[in-house]
Amino acid sequence: MANVLIAGASRGIGLELVRQYAGAGDTVIAGARDLSAAAQLDEFAASADNVRVVQLDIASPESITAASEAVGDQPLDVVMVVGAVLGAMPQMLDNIDLDAWHAAFDANTIGPMLIARAFKENLAASGDGKLMIVSSQLAASTWPMGGMYIYSTTKAAVNKVVQILALDWRKDPITVVVTHPGYVQTDMGGPNADITAEESASGLRNVMASETKEDSGKFYKWNGDIHPW
What number of helices (H) and strands (E) belong to the chain? 8, 7
Tally of CB atoms within 10 A around 141: 10
- What per-residue confidence (pLDDT) applies to 186? 67
225: DSSP letter: P
pLDDT at 190: 64
Task: Spell out, as residue ranges, where the chain has pLDDT lower than 50.
Answer: none
CATH of domain 3-221: 3.40.50.720
Query: What are the domain boundaries of the chain?
Result: 3-221
pLDDT at position 217: 97
For residue range 163-191, list pLDDT tens digits in order: 999 999 999 999 999 999 988 876 665 66
Quote the pLDDT of residue 86: 85
Contact 217, 162 (CB under 8 A): yes
If one counts every other C-beta atom within 10 angstroms of the C-beta of residue 92, the result is: 11
Mean pLDDT of the chain: 94
Report the distance separating Cα 166 and Cα 175, nearest Å: 7
What's residue 195's pLDDT?
83
